Chain A
Amino acid sequence: MSDFIAQFVGVGHQYKKGAEIFKGATFNIEPGSFHFLTGPSGSGKSSLLKMLYLGLKPTWGSIRLFGEDPLTMKPSLLPLLRQQVGVVFQEFKLLDHLKVIDNVSLPLRVRGIEAKRSYRDARELLNWVGLGDSLQAYPATLSGGQQQRVAIARAVITRPQLLLADEPTGNVDDDMAIKLLHLFEELNKMGTAIVIATHNQRLLERSPYPHLTIRRGTIIRTPKRSKP
Chain B
Amino acid sequence: MNNSQDLPLKNDIAARFLPLIIGLMVYVGTLCFVFTLFILSATHLWENQLRTQITLEVPASPGASSAPLQAQVLQVLSKTPGIQQASAVPKKEVETLLQSLLGTTLPVDLQFLPVLIEVSLNGREPIDIPMLEARLKIISPQIQLIDHRPWQVQVSSLINASVVLASTLTFLVLLTALVTTTFATRTSLLIHRQVVEVLHLIGATNEYIAKQFQVHALKQGLIASAIGAAFAFLTFIGIAALLEKAGLPSTSLSSFSIQAFCVFALSPFVTGGFMMLSARLTVMRGLRP
Per-position 1/0 for A103-115, Cβ under 8 A of B = 0001101110001
Residues in B63-95 with C-beta less than 8 Å from chain A: none
- The answer on a CB contact under 8 Å between B201 and A55 is yes
Residue of B nearest to A89 (CB): B201
Q: How many residues on A have C-beta within 8 angstroms of the other chain's C-beta atoms? A: 24
- Chain B CB within 8 A of A9 CB: no
B204 CB-CB contact with A under 8 Å: yes
- Inside 8 A of A40's CB, which chain B residues have their CB? none
Please name all residues of chain A whose beta carbon is closer than 8 Å to the beta carbon of B1 when the two chains form the complex: 115, 119
Of the listed stretches B3-11, B132-140, B225-233, chain A binds B3-11
Q: Does A53 contact B (CB under 8 A)?
A: yes
Query: Are B203 and A109 in contact, with the CB atoms below 8 A?
Result: no
Contact between chains at A79 and B203 (CB < 8 Å): yes
Q: Which chain A residues lie closer than 8 Å to B11 at the CB level?
A: 97
How far in angstroms is the closest Cβ of chain B from A86?
8
A87 at interface, CB cutoff 8 A: yes
B219 to chain A, nearest CB (A): 17
Contact between chains at A82 and B206 (CB < 8 Å)? no
Beta-carbon contact of B198 and A110 below 8 Å: no
Distance (Å) between the CB of B224 and the closest chain A CB?
A: 23
Would you give the shortest CB distance from A194 to chain B, in whole angstroms?
A: 17
Contact of B201 among A87, A102, A111, A119 (CB under 8 A): A87
Give the contacting residue for B198; candidates A76, A79, A95; CB below 8 A: A95
Contact at A83–B206, with CB atoms within 8 Å?
no
Closest to A97 in B: B8
Whole-angstrom CA separation of A85 from B8 in the bound complex: 25
Interface assignment of B199: CB less than 8 Å from any CB of chain A: yes
| Listed residue (B203, B205, B206) with the most chain A CB atoms within 10 angstroms of its CB | B203
Q: Considering the complex, which residues of chain A in the window 64-95 have a beta carbon less than 8 Å from any beta carbon of chain B?
A: 75-76, 79, 82-83, 85, 87, 89, 93, 95
A111/B203 in contact, CB under 8 A = yes
Contact A95–B6 (Cβ < 8 Å): yes
A98 at the interface (CB under 8 A from B): yes
Interface string of B171-215 (1 = CB under 8 A from A): 000000000000000000000000100111111111010000000
The reply to whether A76 and B3 contact each other, CB–CB distance below 8 Å, is: no
With known contacts A75-B289, A115-B1, A109–B6 Cβ distance under 8 A = yes
A154 in contact (CB, < 8 A): yes
A114 to B89, CA, bound (A): 77
**In the complex the two chains form, what is the Cα distance from A39 to B275 in whole Å?**
51
CA distance A93 to B289 in the complex (A): 22
Q: List 22 A-B contacts (CB under 8 A).
A: A55-B201, A75-B288, A76-B205, A76-B206, A79-B200, A79-B203, A79-B205, A82-B203, A85-B203, A89-B201, A93-B198, A93-B201, A95-B195, A95-B198, A97-B8, A98-B6, A102-B2, A110-B199, A110-B204, A110-B208, A115-B1, A119-B1
Which residues in A have some Cβ–Cβ distance to B below 8 Å? 53, 55, 75-76, 79, 82-83, 85, 87, 89, 93, 95, 97-98, 102, 106-107, 109-111, 115, 119, 154, 158
